[in-house]
Amino acid sequence: MTIGSTDNHDNGSPLADTPLPGATPLLEVNNLRAYIGTARGTVRAVDDVSLSLQTGQALGIVGESGSGKSVMARAIMGLMPPRSARSGEVTFQGRDLLALKKKEKLEVWGKQIAMVFQDPGRSLNPVVRVERQLTEGMRKHLGIGRSEATGRALQLLQEVGVPDPQRRLRNYPHEMSGGMRQRVMIAIALACEPDLLIADEPTTALDVTIQRQILDLLRRVQKERDMGMMLISHDLAVVAGRTDRVSVMYAGRLAEVGATRTVFDSPMHRYTHALLGATPTIDHTRHAPLRVISGSLPDPTSPPQGCRFASRCEHAQSDCLTPGPVLESVGADHEVACLHPVAPHPVKTLTLSGR
């Protein structure tokens, strides 16, 4: 499939990517907490999150802006800001990432785990040509010479759909469009053939056509290389049809986890249901008001003891204000942290073809 083609996405079946019993996850996160000190108090950005990702699997992390998605990704990578603290367990290929020293982290970053940041304009060095930014990681981690690294850089730019790659190698980032810069970021992330790719809002500020091209590119490369991929977005349409499993995050905690088709077809957490209901669809009645979720995220410096969505939930009851709830299984590969979940029945929301 060429970049920008109109071929259908590989929606797949939830069973197709179900790990074999006893299979060791590529990435396993247990009880992860990431707190950041601010002038207003300690922000509990990620508060007791557990998830796993298998080799060759794509996991979507969705939720409103401010729900803790990006902080969770940075906590996994060990890229936390000053005055912050992490706790819990993050195991990658059996190795504890939270226990790594700085030198050991440098061996993992880029070579085994790579990250595509949401703003290529700030992530790329503005005074360094694309060639150097593409090749320095390969030369360091793979131990190859300059000419071989340049040849691999050309191949990577071709793979991610950059036209005239020979000329683009000599460009500075400001000489390229936003879409081209994001493709370069993806090429840099793929340069050392990592086992895990974390894509944090990779289509921010791009127009819809370029968004689809970038998302299709990520999914295609992930499948071809059999990588694990974590795709983070505030937009449910972005992960629809491009992930095998999805985790819905709200106010630092996971609200619902499961196979993408299951969660999209039969959402059970009141927050997931509200998110899907607030997403415009092609059959939306003309001039009819869009549905919205009233209220706002709770203060992350003093989150409520009970369900963090309770203050915005039309179905909240007194027990929703008591400590909890926790994720509980409601079916095959489907967990929900809700005391009064939506009755399991299909809803008509987004198609799995995505955006």
Please, what are the domains in the chain? 53-78+100-233 (3.40.50.300)
**Average pLDDT along the chain:** 87
Average pLDDT, stretch 230-236?
Answer: 91
pLDDT of 353 over the 50 cut: no
Tell me the two tokens of residue 294: 């009233």
**CB count in 10 Å sphere of residue 107:** 12
pLDDT of residue 4: 34
| Torsional sign, CA 321, 31, 243, 19 | negative
Cα gap 19→54, rounded to integer Å: 7
Cα gap 212→208, rounded to integer Å: 6
| 129-153: pLDDT as tens digits | 999 999 999 999 999 999 999 999 9
Whether the Cβ atoms of residue 169 and residue 134 lie closer than 8 Å to each other: yes
User: Taking Cα atoms as reference points, which of 161, 156, 154, 237 lies closest to residue 193?
Assistant: 156
Average pLDDT, stretch 305-331?
Answer: 93
CA 70, distance to chain mean position in Å, is 8
Residue 24 has what DSSP assignment?
A: P
